[in-house]
Amino acid sequence: MRLADARKDHYRKLAKDQGLRARSAYKLQQLNDSYHLLKKGSKVIDLGCAPGGWLQIATRLVGATGKVVGIDLKPVEPVVGAVIMQGNIEDPEMKVRISETLGGKADVLLSDLAPNVSGVWDIDHARQISLTQTALQFGGTVLKVGGSAIFKVFEGDMLDDLKAELKQNFGKVQLSKPSASRQESSELYVVCMDFRHNTSQ
Ligand SMILES: C[S@@+](CC[C@H](N)C(=O)[O-])C[C@H]1O[C@@H](n2cnc3c(N)ncnc32)[C@H](O)[C@@H]1O
């Protein structure tokens, strides 16, 4: 078995043993082990939350005093401690509903959003970047000044421009590849800290 397949199998088995819905849950756990963005009491929004792996990790990390709201196009089985909405992040109504449900601005915005892949690299890369830009705009209205965000991205020629855009909005921007993310995949996470301004104002 190739090393990459063995690692994938390892996380899949671990997720099953630990009652986690998706291997991807370990990506958030590992990112948080490195950056400590989600803390007890944090208010968190999870964009593209199905099937709920990140929600499971986020609710554990923020505890009973925190709040987690997730949204996805697809239905998601309930996760104890999270409020889940079915909808499109491109729908302005969803921003309002999420803010109302959260009861204030978020400390952390999570985006593991992934478009339906066409298999044509340029198209998929452009869709992913566009989804991340929508997530960033979403952050502009829902994220606290000083807050943090994690955005899933894919390597490609539009990534530098996206990073530049993120740097205009956050004091610190770092690329990270958690070991639970397949090494042969071009997936990366942009970890952003110290949200500077509210782009909606
Ligand atoms: C990789 S999955 C997320 C996995 C999740 N973090 C977990 O651990 O279970 C990406 C999700 O993004 C969602 N998505 C893509 N575009 C969306 C949109 N415009 N609005 C809401 N959700 C979207 C997809 O439906 C998909 O479920």
Q: Where are the domains of the chain?
A: 24-195
Determine how β-strand 43-47 pairs with β-strand 106-111.
parallel
- Listed residue (132, 139, 128) closest to 105, CA to CA: 139
List pLDDT tens digits, range 90-120.
999 999 999 999 999 999 999 999 998 888 8
201 pLDDT above the threshold of 70: no
What is the predicted pLDDT for the residue at 89? 95
Residue 50 beta carbon below 6 angstroms from any ligand 1 atom: yes
152 classed as catalytic: yes
Q: With cut-offs at 50, 70 and 90, classify the pLDDT of residue 121.
A: confident
pLDDT, tens digit, for every residue of 59-85? 999 999 999 999 999 999 999 999 999
Q: Which helix (H) or strand (E) holds 153?
A: strand 143-154
Q: Answer whether residue 198 shows pLDDT above 60.
A: no
- Whose alpha carbon is nearest atom 27 of ligand 1? 50
C-beta of 117 in contact with ligand 1 (< 6 A):
no
* Ligand 1 pocket check for 72: Cβ under 6 Å: yes
Query: With a threshold of 0.85, does the pTM exceed it?
Result: yes
Q: Are strands 82-86 and 67-72 parallel, antiparallel or unpaired?
A: parallel
- Please give the Cα distance from 193 to 201 (Å, whole number): 20
CATH topology of domain 24-195: Rossmann fold (3.40.50)
pLDDT over threshold 60, residue 175:
yes
State the closest ligand 1 atom to the C-alpha of 49, by its place in the atom list counted from 1. Answer: 5
Give the mean pLDDT of the chain.
92
The mean-pLDDT minimum among 5-14, 76-85, 89-98, 190-199 falls in: 5-14
- Give the whole-angstrom CA distance, residue 169 versus residue 195: 6
Asked if pLDDT for residue 9 goes beyond 90, the answer is no
* 122 has pLDDT over 90: no
> And the tokens for 65?
């005093």
Ligand 1 mean position, distance from CA 173 (Å): 22
Q: What is the mean pLDDT of residues 148-170?
A: 95
Q: Spot the catalytic one: 43, 67, 105, 152.
A: 152
Name which residue leads in pLDDT, 19 or 83: 83
Mutate-to-test residue for ligand 1 from 112, 133, 134, highest number of ligand atoms within 8 A of CB: 112
Ligand 1 neighbour 71 (Cβ under 6 A): yes
In this prediction, residue 200 has a pLDDT band, given cuts at 50, 70 and 90, of very low
Ligand 1: which of 49, 111, 182 to mutate, judged by most atoms within 8 Å of the beta carbon? Answer: 49
Does residue 89 have its Cβ closer than 6 Å to ligand 1?
A: yes
Which pLDDT value is given to residue 161? 95
